[in-house]
């Protein structure tokens, strides 16, 4: 006999949107591309996400954004060149 899947907590769409301030279509696109936890149906009319997976996704995004950001060198751009200072 196989072990049952252990899920700590499931959240519905309303709770997900409180955690992730994205539109429904943006979340759907991320799911479809494999960049967001997949929803699944509890019943034909009830769709849920695993809260642990969503929180892990948020943490991955947070650590990815914490890395130092280097702004581009505006003097190398081809359009709208920077004027030389006198």
pTM, two decimals, is 0.66
- Tally of domains in the chain: 1
Is the confidence at residue 26, as pLDDT, over 70? Answer: yes
Q: φ, ψ for residue 68 (rounded to 5)?
A: -60, 135
Residue 38 falls inside a structural domain: yes
Q: How confident is the model at residue 68 (pLDDT cuts 50, 70, 90)?
A: low
Residue 43 falls inside a structural domain: yes
Question: Measured between alpha carbons, how far is 2 from 46 in angstroms, rounded to an integer?
Answer: 25
Residue 1 falls inside a structural domain: no
Biggest CA–CA distance in the chain, Å, is: 80
Residue 83 falls inside a structural domain: no
Q: Which domain holds residue 41?
A: 10-68
**Which runs of E-coded beta strand occur in 1-86?**
10-11, 40-43, 46-50
Residue 75 falls inside a structural domain: no
């Amino acid at each position: 006999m196989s072990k049952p899947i252990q899920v700590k907590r499931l959240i519905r769409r309303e709770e997900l949107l409180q955690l992730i301030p994205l539109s429904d279509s943006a979340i759907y696109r991320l799911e479809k591309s494999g960049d967001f936890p997949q929803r699944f149906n509890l019943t034909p009319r009830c769709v849920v996400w695993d809260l642990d997976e969503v929180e892990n996704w948020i943490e991955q995004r947070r650590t990815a954004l914490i890395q130092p950001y280097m702004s581009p060198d505006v003097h190398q751009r081809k359009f709208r060149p920077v004027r030389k200072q006198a």
